Structure 1
Amino acid sequence: MSRHPLNAWTVNISLAAFTLILFIASIYIGRGGELLTDKFALISETDRDIAWLVLTEIRLPRALLGLLVGATLGLTGAGLQGLLRNPLAEPGLIGASGGAALGAVLVFYSGLAAGTAMFVPVGGILGALAALAVLYLLAGRNPSIVTIILAGVAISAFTGALTSLALNLSPSPYAALEIVFWMLGSLTDRSMVQVWFVLPFMGVGWLLVVSTYRALDALALGEDTASTLGFSMRSVTARAIIGTGLAVGAAVSVTGVIGFVGLVVPHLMRPLVGQRPASLLLPSALGGAALVLAADILVRIPVNGPELKIGVVTSLVGAPFFLWLILRTRREAP
């Protein structure tokens, strides 16, 4: 909560309503910004089963994944910024995104993706879990925040190098192209099977991150103060890192890499709810969901040519914001 609880409620309710509007719009807006309500009505007159199938197996999974992935990136971004007390922290910092991407890429590289689409998210989840295991092996039993950051950067660099190696050694240019397109991030051609597969991982991750909300407020005063108030830094760090890894790994495994959402959204929400890390979690989740849904609607607007990848759109928005943030941080430094 912020200093003014009523304002916090207003912000959260407004964001929830805005996200709901974008969610419904995502279902009913097609290529070129065309509204699909008339088409759904026409199909329903002919065969209601087909209309229901199109709605539940094509339109709904895309909107649901936009909602879930955006909420995951926004929530974990706010949680990591509070945990690390670093405004430049984002979910990819701990290496889970890179691990998930590598796991999915290996599925493409090995040809398993041709068997069933479910092998891709399975590979992504296993890659994220492997990255978390390596993170804790590198960081030790009682890691400091700095050690976790350094280990995460090392894992991200190494998984990125292995992903590039897989692209370089790809036996077919078509396989390499498929890998590149997947890594750009997209919500198209996903099914409810994939939604149900990643939802438990995301749910557990959300709960672990949210369970640290009181400790995050205490951490704003420093680790010593948080320990004095009775918070175990080892437990808090483990819950935040593992929760972020599970949720973000699940997101990346099914949509590819959608960057900058976890970095940008918490900064957009802070002027609305204040500086307390705990008050930032829910608005960031709602804001992240809204941003990803809006970006996914935006990529459908062009009528001609291939549909833009959502990761490209978020990077085009997030990269300039990131540079501005670095400049502002440098100016504010003593």
Structure 2
Amino acid sequence: MSRLTLLLVVTLVGLFVTSLLTGPADIGIGESLTALFVGDGGPLTLVMREIRLPRVVLALIIGASLGLAGAAMQGYLRNPLAEPGLIGVSGTAALGAVLAIHTGLSAAFAFGLPLAALTGALLGVLLVMTLAGPRGTSLTLILAGIAVSALAAALTSLVLNLSPNPFAANEIVFWMMGSLADRSMAHVWLALPFTLVGWILLGTLGRGLDALTLGEDAARAMGIQITRLRLQLVVGTACVVGAGTAVAGAIGFVGLVVPHILRPLVGAHPSRLLWASALGGAIMLLAADIAVRVVLPARDLKLGVLTALVGAPLFLHLILKLRKERI
């Protein structure tokens, strides 16, 4: 486990530095790092501190959040096909952002879009918890999340259908693809408080998730409060997914793919998988963000599109693997 953690940390640091040094401007490594840490207030300092650094930090915290939430969700539901968007929070957060673009709030107020997305995430988790009930089962939670996701998707499609402005509709479509371009440190500070709360809530679920591997009855016998654990899981997931969607749009498959890849390396223990998946999620999103700047630098390839292109085949591989295991 310690070797895996060391490998993940070294890879993460390497990708973090590589991402800081990757961009359309042809700038040397020494010159870039000097501008970042020393700085003289010139254009290069502005590029490093206000363009590249926020993008890299957001990739790290959003990727870690999605990986952590995915591992927690899979551990609670005891299903490797579960992912953070299952409870509908990403859909309602996206709906809030879409409404902000449609109504012009995002143009009138600099942080209208992320704040509307966070509001949508909050309303979404309240609706899911109301539908699932305080003593609902895991199946009830899944069904409530699917219902809320379907409703949010339908309302988002309705907004697009009724949009009288083709430019607004185009902006909505591109935002929903997910991207970290043109983000500032203000976006980092907006997402960070919610992200930290979510990390604390999800990161302390290890003992309960390990107990759940024996079944809910056995977990209760070991002193685990299932209702409290579920509430902690849902609120923590809402915090990290809502914050990430608010500032970067919809980015999928990270929370599904990363825990699946790392699970065999941690002995399939949910508690060990949590923080390993957080590191793995940050690595995946940093690597993907580097790729979108290198593969098609002039075409603005969206981050969510790339993660879907990578994640979908792995998802299909997981399905085929599960089918073979049951034969």
State if a TM-score over 0.5 links the two structures. yes
Deviation per CA, 1:120-170, whole angstroms, max 9, x where unpaired? 110111000000010011111211100000000111111011111111111
**Which residue pairs with 2:214 in the alignment?**
221
Alpha carbons 1:170, 1:176 under 8 Å: kept: yes
Aligned identity (percent) is: 51
Bigger Cα displacement from structure 2, 29-38 vs 285-294 = 29-38
* Superposition deviation, residue 45 in structure 1: 11
How far the C-alpha of 1:53 sits from its partner, in A, is 2.5
Contact 2:211/2:219 (<8 A) preserved: yes
* Aligned equivalent of 2:106, options 87, 106, 113: 113
Offset at 1:243?
0.4
CA deviation map 1:226-272 (0-9, x unaligned): 00000000000110111001111110111001110000000111122
Equivalence for 1:128: 121
Deviation at 1:116, TM superposition (A): 3.0
> CA separation in 1, counterparts of 2:130 and 2:299?
43
Partner of residue 295 from structure 1, selected from 264, 288, 298: 288
Map of 1:96 onto structure 2: 89
CA distance in 1, matches of 2:231, 2:37: 50
Q: Are positions 1:315 and 2:308 aligned together?
A: yes
**Counterpart in the other structure of 1:3:** none
Per the alignment, residue 4 of structure 1 pairs with none
CA–CA separation in structure 2 for the residues paired with 1:220 and 1:239:
18
1:285 aligns with 2:278: yes
Q: Distance in 2 between matches of 1:117 and 1:289?
A: 27
Amino acid at match of 2:24: R
Of residues 140, 158, 167, the one that matches 2:151 is 158
Please tell me whether residue 12 in structure 1 is matched to residue 5 in structure 2. yes
Question: What is the count of residue pairs matched by the alignment?
Answer: 327
Distance 1:174 1:282 in 2: 41
Instruction: Say whether residues 1:331 and 2:305 are aligned partners.
Output: no
Shift of 1:50: 3.6
1:195 is the counterpart of 2:193? no
Q: CA deviation at 1:51?
A: 3.0
Question: Unaligned stretches of 5+ in structure 1?
Answer: 1-7
**Equivalent position SS for 1:259:** coil
Question: Are the equivalent residues in 1 in contact too, given 2:194–2:239 (CA < 8 A)?
Answer: yes
Which blocks of at least 5 consecutive residues in structure 2 are unaligned?
Answer: none
Separation in 1, partners of 2:36, 2:256: 42
Partner of 1:248: 241
| SS of alignment partner, residue 300 of structure 1 | helix
Structure 1 residue 328: Cα displacement = 1.4
Task: Tell me: CA distance 1:193–1:23, structure 2 relative to 1, closer, same or farther (3 Å).
Answer: same
TM-aligned CA distance change 1:305 to 1:58, over 3 Å: closer
- Note if contact 2:36-2:45 (Cα within 8 Å) is conserved in structure 1: no
TM norm structure 2: 0.95
TM-aligned CA deviation for residue 183 of structure 1: 0.5
Counterpart of 1:5 in structure 2 is none
Q: After TM superposition, give the deviation of residue 25 of structure 1 in Å.
A: 1.1
Name 1:68's counterpart in structure 2.
61
Q: Distance in 2 between matches of 1:245 and 1:219?
A: 21
1:29 CA drift (Å)? 0.6
Deviating more after overlay: 323-332 vs 86-95: 323-332
SS in 2 for 1:104: helix
The one-letter code matched in structure 2 to 1:232 is: Q
For the 8 Å contact 1:32–1:301, the answer to whether it is kept is no
1:146 maps to which of 125, 139, 147: 139
Partners of 1:29 and 1:35 within 8 A in 2: no
